[in-house]
Chains A and B, each alone.
Chain A
Amino acid sequence: MSMMTGREYIESLRAINPEVYFLGQRIKCIVDEPMFQPHLHAAAMTYELAHHPEYEEIMTATSHLTGEKINRFTHVHHSIDDLVKKVRMMRLLGQKTGTCFQRCVGLDGLNAIYVTTYDIDQKYGTDYHERFKKYLLEVQKKDWMPAGAMTDARGDRSLRPSRQKHPDVYLRIKKRLKDGIIVSGTKAHITGAINSHEIITMPTRTMTEEDKDYAVSFAIPANTKGILFVFSRQTNDTRRLDGILDAGNPKYGIVGGEAIIIFQDVFVPWERVFMAGEYDFTTELVETFAGYHRSNYGGCKVGLADVVIGGSRWIAEAHGLGKASHIIDKLTEMIAMAETCWSCTLACSYEGYRTPSGAYHINPLLANVTKLNITRMVYEWMRVGQDIAGGKIITLPSERDLNSPVSGKVLEECFSGKDGVPPRDIIKMLRLIENMSVGAGLPEAMHGAGSPAAQKIMIERRSGLEKKMELAETVAGISKDKYFESIIGKDEKAHWDEVRKKIEEHKAQIY
């Protein structure tokens, strides 16, 4: 087994050359295209850090299949410690890239399919789990990055998948053959899709019997015949072609580099199929994946918060406001929100449990609370970051104007701060805060891993409201409280009768 370095990962993508389109053009080579390079660099960080001893403990794991050292992004969690290290890895990578590093979706897909295929086999006597273990071994051996493809295009949300006017708005099995299946359909908003070695698909929702052809999960190479990718637009995306300074985060980009994946009569051999019609396990697969993925957001987004908090402090100091009490107060607010989300994700990891498959899952209630907090708090800490940075983040001139012999000198003077701080460094930092707080990263925090409504459904289902009512009934004295009776040493009714009597007897003294 060998773990790729960041550079080796990027070079490995040359051999794949998937069919990618952007702005109406077929992209001949994603590796050489400046438009995509920041996304590749961010994903490459997940490979690179595994080779540095100072991060090895978090970035690598021991394969439960072989006992060998592997990149943690290919690992199936087999302990609470694994779950905790996973979210520590997310925070670390958020800190190093300031953006989405994309590889966690595939990691969560691998874990969710591992857990669910075991349970399907227990019920139906199928061999999906063994098939999946062979696939997982290959992923670990080749250190692949699989893109986790769950969300379908979905069309009319009031209609079930099988009732849609356009059948391709959901991925489905069109034909079952002796040696495999033929699938068609569309997956949308898929993070890291164009720079992944493989695509692993999962159903996007609970399916019923009438939708059983939509209950499908499989893995397939990204360059399989019939698969094409349309890269999605992001806010200010072409700025990286206008000027390096203009981009904001020219090294690692902005959010994950999402794409639409269109499957057109794609053949998938049976050994790569992990669900084919077992609609009664779609809820488990979706919820297991969502639980893992929602927990991640309390790691990666907090890593991003670390960067934006540092950037905000840097800007304040560069302008001579580092010690201003209102700045310190705002930074403290940002830190408290970020650490609240971090506490949530640590809690859902420490409260994880062993599934029947032997793999460990996070606490789903707490993972959904983590993500719900993220949908709110990322906006809030980015708002405070913008507050500290000032209006400059939306009015900065372009790099070309800074380089212009006509305007360059006066612009640099306009954007100077304290003595000794180069104006271009101030612009770099302001652009970074703009990139992180104004752009596509915000709605990504809202909708990535599911929208707030999805989290609220899971929270309501898992919160044990009936038990909470029982607690309230006991405390209110509506139902029996055996521990209270033990304290008072008698029946509760008799106790209150005695209390009433005492009150009456001492009424004159009290009043």
Chain B
Amino acid sequence: MTCPLGLLESMFTIGVRYCGGCNPQIDRSRVVKDLEEGLRKIGLPVDFTTAKERLADVILLVNGCKHACFEAKQGESDRGHTVISVRGEMVDEQYVKEGDIVKMLIQRICSFL
């Protein structure tokens, strides 16, 4: 997979927001870690941050299950941003197996560049 890196003028920032993780269907931390590695492998300089006050190009909501309770609690500061929501074995409105979540996220992120 390749990304149009030429369009990037500065470090791309992904604001990561985790749900509380009460009974997750997926390993949320691993998804984020694998995503970071996957983006690095295709040469995309990405900065991941969980600091809510930092500006981000994309907000990644990492919900452990389809109920996606964090979507309702998403912070006011994130409104107006591009948001990708992992909802257990779903990414936004698409069903996806846990092993394919990262691949789908990379496709989504690249589509914004």
Contacts and interface: CB of A to CB of B under 8 A. Distances in A.
Given A353-B87, A464-B25, A363 B95 contact: no
Nearest to B25: A464
A22 B38 CA distance: 66
B67 interface: yes
Contacts of B24: 467
Interface string A231-268: 00000000000000000000000000000000000000
Contacts of A467: 24-25, 27
Interface in A184-205: none
Interface string B50-69: 00000000000000011110
> Looking at chain A, what size class is its interface with the partner chain?
under 10
Interface in A334-363: 351-354, 356, 363
Contacts of A356: 93-95
Contacts of A352: 67
Contacts, number: 19
> Looking at chain B, what size class is its interface with the partner chain?
10 to 19
Nearest to B68: A353
Contacts of A353: 65-68, 87, 90
Interface string B1-42: 000000000000000000000001101000000000000000
A363 B64 CA distance: 13
A467 B68 CA distance: 19
Interface in A462-496: 464, 467
A356 to B, nearest CB: 4
A356 B27 CA distance: 22
Interface string A357-384: 0000001000000000000000000000
A351 B95 contact: no
Interface string B61-100: 0000111100000000000000000010010011100000
A356 B65 CA distance: 15
A42 B2 CA distance: 62
B25 A363 contact: no
A319 to B, nearest CB: 47
Contacts of A363: 67
Contacts of B66: 353-354
B94 to A, nearest CB: 7
A365 to B, nearest CB: 10
Contacts of B67: 351-353, 363
Most buried by B among A353, A363, A464, A467: A353
B98 to A, nearest CB: 10
A36 B25 CA distance: 47
B29 to A, nearest CB: 9
A354 B95 CA distance: 11
Contacts of A351: 65, 67
Interface of A: 351-354, 356, 363, 464, 467
Interface of B: 24-25, 27, 65-68, 87, 90, 93-95
Given A353-B66, A353-B87, 7 more contacts: A351-B67, A353-B65, A353-B68, A356-B93, A356-B94, A464-B25, A467-B27
19 contacts: A351-B65, A351-B67, A352-B67, A353-B65, A353-B66, A353-B67, A353-B68, A353-B87, A353-B90, A354-B66, A354-B68, A356-B93, A356-B94, A356-B95, A363-B67, A464-B25, A467-B24, A467-B25, A467-B27
Top 7 A-B pairs ranked by shortest CB distance? A353-B66, A356-B93, A351-B67, A353-B67, A464-B25, A353-B68, A356-B94
